[in-house]
Structure 1
Amino acid sequence: MPESAFEYISNKTLLSTLVAIGLFGTTTAFAQEQQDIGEQADQTSDVEVIMVKGTRRTQSLQDAPVAVTAFTDFDIQGAGIERPADFISLTPNVTLIETQNAGMAFITIRGISQNRDTQPSVAVIIDGVQQTDAGQFQQELFDIEQIEVLKGPQGGLYGRNAIGGAIVISTKDPAEYAEGRIKLGVDNGPGFRAQVGVSGPGGENWAYRLSGSFYDTDGYIENTYLGEDSDPLRDISLRGKVVWYVNDKLEVDFRGYYSALETQPFNYRIASDVNTILSPRTNNAGINDRDLYGGSVKITYTEEDGGFWTSITAYDRSKELIAGDAFDYLPIEESFLFNLAGFDQSQISNFGSKSWSQEIRYTSSDDEKFKYIYGAYVVDTEQLQQNGARIDTGVGFSAPLDWISLDPANPQLNFLSDVRNNFAWAFFANASYEFNEQWSVDTSLRYDKDERENLTQTPQAFIPNVPGFEVGVEGEVKKRDFGQWQPKLTFTYKPVDEFTAYGGYSVGFRSGGFNQTGSDAIAGSAGIFGIKEFYDAETAKTFEVGGKFTLPDMNVRGGFALYSTESENTPFFVFLQQNSTQNIGVIPEARLQGFEFDINATPLPGLRLVAGFGYVDSEIKEYGDPSAIGNQTPAVSKTTLNLGAQYTQDLNDGISSLVWRLDYQRLGETNFDIYESTTRDPINLLDARVTYEAENWSLALWAKNLTDKQYNAEWSPGGFIYRARPRIYGLTYTYNFEM
């Protein structure tokens, strides 16, 4: 007997069913809609107006002098956005690599990429609070109001780590009346998803919103050695908000969140070619547990002239344990090390961080020609990083998992432990002046200072001792400061209401940091360039011109941008097998240049078409090894193409409707290391969704990676390939109610 009803549906049946239903529904709906064009013309004659807040002021998407892709609640529900990968796959010139463990995901925007153990390449802001740990990004998205992706350095607005851009996520605010939503889903994992949210007034001057998400799946990628899926996942996430309207001038916003995730890590195979498709064959299923929790208090005080003060105090905590197979990720008897030395190995990593942050700023009224913002930000962070390898005898992992094993059945091979303290502060100012109805200028200036120190907790016996290199000392504290001015200047020209042109210059900054104690010696003995005890901060200087347009008579809006970026100290990743560490080196100078455009059209009532294209040409201009000069920078897809179509077919005189949606993404050739040793072929992905919508409920049949494209999400230097998810399909039921 099959484990799930979905197993009755073959791959070909699913594909043909969705396509046939879509063609039939579209043809029928088109004939029906032609009869109603006259009645509905007035409702579709205006281009949709989307308001964005990513520039720290609320303004229309088409007027914002920055390249930004926005996803409203309509887009989030229509596309079934539930994870970060879902909206990034719809954004030109932005890519995401999901790999290794729950908290490991790398965002690349316009060639500015992210690596293991580096600072983020984008600033991620949720309800005004900036994430302080890159491991927080990979979370379930539920009860979300809007997502904005700003491209290009946003250091003047958001400071350090906004070097590639910013992702601004707004969750739903408390409602004026009691309401709620329940969402239930099943998929072919088999997997089960449940989400619930309730909101309403709690009294005369306060309101609340509570939401939660539960996701449980057996997985989608088989471990052919263990005979079970390699990627099971269980996630429980909760979020709560309470807003206290003290009076007409003062508002206090309390928010809290919690997330507990369990999955399995290190499902690698070893291959020299990124286009080689192999299933995991680890003998250790592995452990990957991650906990996230925190909260914030935002206080807003509005003055008589409309200007307002904002204070945001936040605390964030993350803990992640990872234990699994080690190189070469094969069963003990098949492993290279076992056949060479008579034993195999496993690995354990612990990551953790806790931070307090405080921001205070003043925002002037929007009613004046001259508008301004000024403020200050401070954050205090403590991070733990532990990595170690043990002899794998097939008995799993002995306690303790956060220190050195004394079990003779699971003896320790190597171990490194470092505690990193970071105190960072910044002050900033933004100003905008409208010369007239056509010309305006926006300026930002921010200074960020990072004071970092690294405490070596590794026992002396485990610190690498390589002849010719300095030997680290247990208890040693190393300090390093990084600081940067980040200006941004943008001129905007609006000759007519339907067209906005902008151009300017900006500087982004990503803080440097420390590699684990002794890694520089291990890398040096192996002849690897660029690995030091610390890695330098990265700066990106960008010139950009762009434009946004609307064609109201044709229900069309769109935008384009051209950019050129000079990057100094671009980070790249190096894995050192000898001590199981993930390390960062830097490319002293690289150049990134390209363009992008997007267009959104409603040519017929109910029919929405979306297209976007991005191109980036990356080149290493300076490096210690001359053979790498002229090559592409790692983890950059040269092109991205996004096409989408959504058609709404009204039924029963508007009482219900059918919504048909297709989303296509093409990722161009992707290089993964500085030596261009292997390049992934272009990837074509197709998502489909058919939704029946009634007055207060809906039922959706959906598929992601509909054609079941087999490809690798990542190739890491050293030959580590990580397989991407195959086709996933399912049903989702949503019910909206009032209480």
Structure 2
Amino acid sequence: MSSNFENVRLRKSLLAMMVSASLSGAVMAQEAQDAEAQEEAAPSDVEVIMVKGTRRTQDLQDTPVALTAFTAADIDGAGIERPADFIGLTPNVTLIETQNAGMAFITIRGISQNRDTQPSVAVIVDGVQQTDAGQFQQELFDIEQIEVLKGPQGGLYGRNAIGGAIVITTKDPAEYVEGRVKLAVDNGPGYRVEGGVSGPGGEDWAYRVSGSYYDTDGYIENTNLGEDSDPLRDLSFRGKALWYVTDTLEIDFRGYYSALETQPFNYSIGPDVNQILPIEVNNRGINDRDLYGASVKVTYENEEGGTWTSITAWDRSKELIAGDAFDFKPVGESFLEVILGLPFDQNQISNFGSKSWSQEIRYTSPDDARFKYIYGAYAVDTSQLQQNGARADFGLGFADPLGGISTDPNNFQLNFLSDRRDNFAWAFFGNVSYEIDEQWTIDASLRYDRDERENLTQTPQAFIPNVPGFPVGTEGEVRKRDFSELQPKVNLTYEPHDNLTLYGGYSVGFRSGGFNQTGSDAIAGSAGIIGIKEFYDAETAETLEFGGKFRIPSLNLRGGFALYSTDSENTPFFVFLQQNSTQNIGVIPEAEFNGVEFDFNASPFPGFRINGGFGYVDSEIKSFDDPVVIGNRTPAVSDYTVNLGAQYTMDMNDGIDSLVWRIDYQRIGETNFDIYESTEREPINLVNARVTYEAENWSLALWANNLTNKEYNSEWSPGGFIYRARPRIYGLTFTYDFEL
């Protein structure tokens, strides 16, 4: 390799040493000597984890934010392969998987998400913020670290970081050739193949390419068709290349592609979320999703040690879903035929598309300075397509083409809506951090976001709802709304001891509003449904928080705690309108969330590790047009979560190999799903277990997720839509690492 490559690696190593020294050595010389003497007397296994979620590299112990981090070792040890895997290990965070491949709703500290809303968290992958909520639900492979920041992070990441942020870092190219191959089988039956290779690609270049293929027949039976309802095939690739132009200039090229096929709309209908009902849909359904994109990151370090960073990204997503419609019964048994006497059932087809480009530029001052600062700007342009419609179902499947309006008499169109949405958002932001003295630090961030949204009605006039007494939409109509917010974040940090960090602060988060589909307000109004308008307002959340991080080296223990109170305006909630097959959003004018959380990780003796966490949130609707719901809990919020885990490593073959036993337990408390508290899911207990034989460069793991085969429903939505969660899945995974 050339001198540029070597110089960059050397500079990075020196920088890492300087950062580490500045984080742990900001104490007097005598104190450092005492700490060294204490460490020699009582060796500590407390793991030091460096995180980047605050836009700077810091020791997790020193970050003034509630943050859960999963290192590469954690990801391998826990078998994290999908977003649900790491969210299930994080206190006060839950995930609802439902309806179709792109539907996954994150709730953090009561701030929830639903269909067609903006995300509740900002998701950042390798510095690029996802622009479509449907991008989040992907296979996780070749991942270096995952960080979950809780509480509004609008000052750092802007709009849609209202509940927090999830920062995912994939593995960087290596300076020598290395790779990994992973093979797995499960009881679907299913199998997984993953592989990747990395190394120097020539003079001043390094590369990394990786891929994943997952194929399963499914796990939940469709009793009507006599086959599993949830088969899935996913093919994903990721590639990156680093060009070390000089020892101060680096260009990072990254690209990804994912193609997924599964089946959607596997609902049952019932009034009680605790009912386990059979899936009886008569259409297998089609759910095809393609994701692809690329980014270029340019990093330049000036003579003073500060860094200019430019990130340009392009993303594209397409998803087609087709399947049964309400009431998800076989032809001949649906309410349309049995109750209304019609000669057909119905099915539904939706078409989603999104493409965006984004640009961020920022300057970051040196990490080792007493006064540090970041400033920059961000812009993103997004174009989206949303089409929904129901068709007559005579039991003959779907007519071609699947998208648009069908003219086939055996599958004729009952209703149809089509909207194109063009959004342009921009922001300016700044962050300062000042070390007042060796114990006190103040951090302040301020970001202004503006989101300009435009909705073009592409629905043919004949399909636009016409309800007497309500305005009628028009084909070609353009609706516009702008949303903006100034988002401050202020933290005061006090470190009375190297092993204790206390912080308190105030932060504001912001989530853009949007449009319901044309005519939905008229349909909702005629049905007496309160809160549904042609558009829904942006949500803002103000949070006061006090927390801390601690380490007890003599016990090999680290942990953290937080108490918080959040006031939210315009909390979104979901309403499905059967009359025009649309998913609509209303808002709760005022809601309040109060809670507490705690987590720890300890190694009481060699080879043994335990971890745990607890999160509690009290959500309450404070204002709404229908007084009946005031005082109720907000939708999609679980009252509490409990996380416990243990791992024991046994030396084998005189310490050359090892046998690792691991068990993880999660309890999710009572969960409400709508503003009227129509039904409440009882607490659920989930157990994952894993036994891994680890050799020098290979491992073999026997694992089970949902070990006790707990039957429960992932979601209940208004109208009685029940969506089943996955049962027990178990399998065997072989991993081989190599170096050349």
2:427 is matched with which residue? 426
Indicate conservation of the 8 Å contact 1:41/1:605, yes or no: no
Q: Residues 240 and 256 of structure 1 are in contact (CA less than 8 Å); yes or no, is this contact kept in structure 2?
A: yes
Write the letter of the residue equivalent to 2:88. Answer: S
Where does 1:415-564 land on structure 2 (aligned, <5 Å)? 415-564=416-565
Q: Which one-letter code corresponds to 1:711 in the other structure?
A: Y
Quick one: which amino acid aligns to residue 103 of structure 1?
Answer: G
1:146 — aligned with what?
Answer: 145
8 A Cα contact 2:671 2:683, kept in partner: yes
Q: What residue in structure 2 maps to residue 722 of structure 1?
A: 723
Q: Within 2, Cα distance between the matches of 1:298 and 1:96?
A: 31
Matches of residues 186-335 of structure 1 in structure 2 within 5 Å? 186-335=185-334
Q: After TM superposition, give the deviation of residue 738 of structure 1 in Å.
A: 1.3
Cα distance in 2 for residues equivalent to 1:44 and 1:718 = 59
Distance 2:429 2:106 in 1: 26
Paired residue type of 2:631 = G
Match of 1:692, SS state, is strand
1:63 aligns with 2:74: no
Q: 1:687-717: CA deviations, max 9, x gaps?
A: 0000000000000000000000000000001
Counterpart amino acid of residue 341 in structure 2: A
Q: CA separation in 2, counterparts of 1:276 and 1:42?
A: 58
Q: Could you tell me how far 1:341 is from its partner in structure 2? A: 3.1
Q: Tell me if 1:685 matches 2:681.
A: no
More deviation, 396-405/153-162? 396-405
Detail structure 1 runs of 4+ shifted over 3 Å in the superposition.
40-44
Deviation at 1:467, TM superposition (A): 0.5
What corresponds to 1:653 in structure 2?
A: 654
Per-residue CA deviations over 1:628-650 (Å, capped at 9, x if unaligned) read 00000000000000000011111
Q: How far off is 1:279 after superposition?
A: 2.1
> Which whole-Å CA distance do the structure 2 matches of 1:100 and 1:531 have between them?
22
8 Å CA contact 2:42, 2:554 repeated in 1: no
Secondary structure, counterpart of 2:149 in structure 1: strand
Between the aligned partners of 2:234 and 2:42, the Cα distance in structure 1 is 41
Secondary structure of 1:74's aligned partner: helix
1:31-110 matched pairs, under 5 angstroms: 45-110=44-109
State the aligned residue count. Answer: 700
Instruction: Give the Å deviation of 1:400.
Output: 2.1
1:302-360 CA distances to partner (integer Å, 9 max, x unpaired)? 01111000000000000000000000001011111111132210000011100000000
1:30 is matched with none
Which 5+ residue runs of structure 2 have no aligned equivalent? Answer: 1-38
Report the 3-state secondary structure (helix = DSSP H, G, I; strand = E; otherwise coil) of the residue aligned with 1:654: coil
Which residue of the partner structure matches residue 645 of structure 2?
644
Alignment-derived partner of residue 674 in structure 2? 673
- Please say if residues 492 and 502 of structure 1, whose CA atoms lie closer than 8 Å, have aligned partners that are also in contact: yes
1:151-166 → structure 2 map (5 Å cutoff): 151-166=150-165
Partner of 2:363: 362
CA distance in structure 2 between the partners assigned to 1:515 and 1:725 by the alignment: 31
* 2:580 paired residue number: 579
Counterpart-to-counterpart distance in 2, 1:195 and 1:173: 17
* Alignment-mate amino acid for residue 693 of structure 1: E
Code of the aligned partner of 1:591? E
Once the two structures are TM-superposed, the CA of residue 107 in structure 1 deviates from its matched residue by: 0.1
- Could you give the per-residue CA deviations for residues 240-284 of structure 1, whole angstroms, max 9, x where no partner exists? 000000010000000000000000000000010000001210000
Distance 1:184 1:636 in 2: 37
Task: Give the match for residue 565 of structure 1.
Answer: 566
Check whether the contact 1:44–1:605 (CA below 8 A) recurs between aligned residues. Answer: no
Contact 1:279 1:723 in 2 (8 A): no
Offset at residue 291 of structure 1 (A): 0.1
**Retained in 2: the 8 A contact 1:508–1:539?**
yes
The alpha-carbon deviation at position 384 of structure 1 amounts to 0.4
How far the C-alpha of 1:545 sits from its partner, in A, is 0.2
Aligned to 2:627: 626
Q: CA deviation at 1:42?
A: 9.0
The letter of the residue matching 1:161 is N
* 1:407-418 aligned within 5 A: 407-418=408-419
Q: Distance in 2 between matches of 1:460 and 1:677?
A: 36
TM-score for both structures, normalised by structure 1: 0.94
CA distance in 2, matches of 1:453, 1:715: 31
Contact 2:45 / 2:603 at 8 angstroms: preserved in 1? no
Task: Rate the CA distance shift 1:217–1:470 in 2: closer, same or farther, 3 A.
Answer: same
- Write out per-residue CA displacement over residues 105-125 of structure 1, whole angstroms, 9 at most, x where no aligned residue: 000000000010000000000
What does residue 20 of structure 1 align with?
Answer: none
Counterpart CA distance in 1 for 2:346 and 2:260 is 25
Q: Which amino acid aligns with 1:76?
A: I
TM-score, normalised to structure 2, is 0.94
**1:54 Cα deviation (Å)?**
0.1
Amino acid at match of 2:139: E
Instruction: State the 1:653 CA deviation.
Output: 2.0
Pairwise CA distance, 1:200: 0.3
Deviation per CA, 1:477-505: give whole Å up to 9, x if none.
Answer: 01000000000000000001010000010
One-letter identity of the residue aligned with 1:615:
Y
Partners of 2:738 and 2:434 lie apart in 1 by 45
Give the letter for the 1:451 counterpart: E
Amino acid at match of 2:363: Y
Give SS of 1:135's match. helix
Identity %: 80
CA distance in 2, matches of 1:373, 1:43: 39
Inter-partner Cα distance in structure 2 for 1:588 and 1:723? 31
Task: Name 2:393's counterpart in structure 1.
Answer: 392
CA distance in 2, matches of 1:386, 1:226: 28
Pairwise CA distance, 1:44: 6.0
- SS of corresponding position for 2:462: helix
Determine if contact 2:196/2:209 at 8 Å carries over to the other structure: yes
Matched with 2:341 is 341
CA distance in 2, matches of 1:409, 1:250: 62
Q: Distance in 2 between matches of 1:296 and 1:583?
A: 33
Per-residue deviation, 1:223: 0.1
| Aligned position for 2:404 | 403
